[in-house]
Amino acid sequence: MGDNKFNLYNIKLLMINPDKFRNYTNDLPDVIECYKDQRKYQSLDFYDYAINKYCKFERKASFWELFDKLSTFVDLSDPDTNLSNHQHLYQTAEAIRNDGLPEWMQIVGLIHDLGKLIYVMGNDQDGTSMKKQWGIVGDTFILGCQIPEEIVYPEFNKLNQHYNQTKLGIYQENCGFDKLKCSFGHDEYLYRMLKFNKIPLPDEAYYIIRYHSLYLWHSYNQYTYFENETDKKMKPWVSKFQKYDLYTKSPKKVNEKDAKKYYDNLIKKYFPTIIYY
């Protein structure tokens, strides 16, 4: 009982004080190191290498087997929560469900970070392990062009291979996001994995999954010079989702057993029994 009270109090505090999130000023060493490495090693070459290596989808598992791979994964780039990603996914989905949003969006809440399972086939050198996560997590950015100073830890921008590129770099103005190469991680991996498995989610869902870590765009309004009409139309969905992703990182735990019963029915509607990953 006392525990519950404490949790509710904390959630209220978090809800009225959104500045408490994404606060990087406490200089958490893991967070800093992850971002420094990410800026240093994410490049056009790494992108091609990672897509080729991690997006072959030759392994098979059921949805819940994949989901359970996240139960022990803690995101090193995230200063807001030290709960496992399992809980974070349930919390995001439940908040979306509580607001009466459509089933496909609830599913996006439940699966949006599922791509972090890259770590089961990863290694330290690629930044795709439990210990080294710069190839899995962190805010993403576009490769092959200037990185906007609005990014978290802009002082690391000069470590990037494309630091001397122009604003547009290798791209054309308004070419559309589909033409861009975004730093590789759980967003791009899951996007491709769902496409490969032909999961019948709407375009909005695919879009949210692919760009939810591109804070520079959906929260800091950068990269608008690459947008085409589709990107402009999709952006409000990504912003809407972002609020659930962030403000649900609360200490109040979702009862996973109860939640699983509900989501299992949803998953059966959209996913086959065997998924390639």
What residue ranges bind Fe ion (CB under 5 A)?
113, 245
Report which secondary-structure segment, H or E, holds 242.
helix 229-247
R_g of the chain, CA atoms, integer Å: 18
**How many CA atoms lie within 13 Å of 211's alpha carbon, on the beta-carbon side?**
28
At closest approach, how far in Å is the CB of 275 from Fe ion?
Answer: 19
- Identity of the residue, 45 or 99, whose beta carbon is nearer to Fe ion in the bound complex: 99
CB 223 within 8 A of CB 168: no
Distance CA 31, CA 55 (A): 26
At closest approach, how far in Å is the CB of 245 from Fe ion?
Answer: 4
At closest approach, how far in Å is the CB of 86 from Fe ion?
Answer: 12
- Identity of the residue, 108 or 145, whose beta carbon is nearer to Fe ion in the bound complex: 108
At closest approach, how far in Å is the CB of 249 from Fe ion?
Answer: 8
- Identity of the residue, 113 or 188, whose beta carbon is nearer to Fe ion in the bound complex: 113
CB 187 within 8 A of CB 77: no
Residue 245 CA from chain centroid, whole number? 9
> Mapping DSSP to helix (H, G, I), strand (E, B) and coil, where does residue 163 land?
coil
- Identity of the residue, 126 or 245, whose beta carbon is nearer to Fe ion in the bound complex: 245
Distance CA 163, CA 161 (A): 6
- Identity of the residue, 88 or 162, whose beta carbon is nearer to Fe ion in the bound complex: 88
At closest approach, how far in Å is the CB of 178 from Fe ion?
Answer: 20
- Identity of the residue, 171 or 241, whose beta carbon is nearer to Fe ion in the bound complex: 241
Q: What is the number of other CB atoms lying within 10 angstroms of the CB of residue 21?
A: 14
At closest approach, how far in Å is the CB of 193 from Fe ion?
Answer: 14
At closest approach, how far in Å is the CB of 168 from Fe ion?
Answer: 27
Distance CA 103, CA 267 (A): 10
Burial of 44 (0-12, 13-18, 19+ CB in 10 A): middle
**Phi-psi category of 127—alpha, beta or left, where left has phi over 0 and alpha has psi -120 to 50?**
left
- Identity of the residue, 147 or 214, whose beta carbon is nearer to Fe ion in the bound complex: 214
- Identity of the residue, 113 or 204, whose beta carbon is nearer to Fe ion in the bound complex: 113
At closest approach, how far in Å is the CB of 137 from Fe ion?
Answer: 7
CB 174 within 8 A of CB 231: no
Q: What is the number of other CB atoms lying within 10 angstroms of the CB of residue 214?
A: 23
